[in-house]
């Protein structure tokens, strides 16, 4: 069964030592185990995909009635986190009820994309949100952290859509691309990837084989 991804949780950051003694910063992910909830086909749904669910203890009352009915069709226990992953080939075997483990999907030195929800920063100003430089901090300056002009009065006589301003920062879907798998722990369902991934510790993530390999040195 060739499912090109897994669901999991971000456990936190750590470091491991490479063979040459160098320190490699890694993020530890609890990758799976997952179960196939639904298999979508081009004939019935217009595209090839699998819907995965992260296997973890969930109280039945924490799952709403539509989701409970959907899971009962495949005789699957209550699940909180479900996501779809596209399949590139209709010949890839996967049916409802199949279990998907980390060692079946990834191996060391694979490249993956990790999709998560970034930490919410609340209402943030221009400098923090858009890295504006700001003005002078002394000598009578009255322009410290102001945004500056947002549009001339004569033309365009309005504010252009998309103008960078203060507002809600974070709490958005973010994809960390082309991360290298440093280690796979099949016994504890752990996946160690180089670098940081979006979200807070304990947050849900989707881990999939990378769609675009960056042209850079191997790290």
Instruction: Report pLDDT digits (tens) over 43-64.
Output: 888 888 888 988 888 888 888 8
- Domain assignment present for residue 205? The answer is yes
Predicted confidence at residue 8, as pLDDT, reads: 92
- Domain assignment present for residue 216? The answer is no
Phi, psi of 68, deg, nearest 5? -65, -45
Q: What's the pTM value of the predicted model, to 2 decimals?
A: 0.80
d(C-alpha 126, C-alpha 37), whole Å: 44
Residue 124, both tokens:
């943030």
26/61 same-domain check: yes
56/9 same-domain check: yes
Q: What is the tally of structural domains in the chain?
A: 2
Predicted confidence at residue 74, as pLDDT, reads: 82
pLDDT in tens, 157-214: 999 998 999 999 999 999 999 999 998 888 888 999 999 999 999 999 999 988 776 6
Residue 155, both tokens:
């033309």
d(C-alpha 180, C-alpha 108), whole Å: 8
143/56 same-domain check: no
pLDDT > 90? residue 29: yes
14/56 same-domain check: yes
88/74 same-domain check: yes
User: Mean pLDDT across the chain, nearest whole number?
Assistant: 87
145/179 same-domain check: no
188/87 same-domain check: yes
134/99 same-domain check: no
- Domain assignment present for residue 18? The answer is yes
- Domain assignment present for residue 218? The answer is no
Q: Which residues span the domain enclosing 152?
A: 123-169
- Domain assignment present for residue 46? The answer is yes
133/48 same-domain check: no
Predicted confidence at residue 27, as pLDDT, reads: 93
């Amino acid at each position: 069964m060739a499912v090109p991804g897994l669901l999991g949780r971000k456990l936190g950051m750590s470091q491991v030592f490479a063979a040459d003694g160098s320190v490699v910063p890694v993020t530890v992910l609890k990758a799976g185990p997952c179960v196939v909830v639904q298999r979508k086909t081009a004939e019935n749904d217009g595209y090839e995909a699998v819907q995965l669910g992260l296997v973890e203890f969930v109280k039945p009352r924490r799952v709403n009635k539509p989701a409970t009915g959907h899971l009962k069709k495949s005789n699957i226990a209550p699940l909180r986190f479900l996501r779809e992953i596209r399949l590139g080939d209709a010949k890839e075997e996967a049916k409802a009820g199949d279990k998907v483990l980390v060692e079946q999907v990834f191996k060391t030195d694979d490249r993956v994309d990790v999709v998560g929800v970034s930490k919410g920063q609340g209402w943030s100003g221009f400098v923090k949100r858009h890295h504006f430089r700001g003005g002078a901090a002394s000598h009578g300056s009255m322009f410290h952290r102001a945004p500056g002009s947002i549009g001339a009065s004569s033309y365009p006589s309005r504010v252009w859509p998309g103008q960078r301003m203060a507002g809600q920062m974070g709490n958005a879907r973010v994809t960390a691309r082309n991360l290298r798998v440093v280690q796979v722990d099949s016994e504890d369902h752990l996946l160690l990837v180089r670098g940081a991934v979006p979200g807070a510790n304990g947050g849900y993530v989707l881990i999939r084989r990378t769609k675009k390999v960056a042209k850079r040195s191997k790290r």
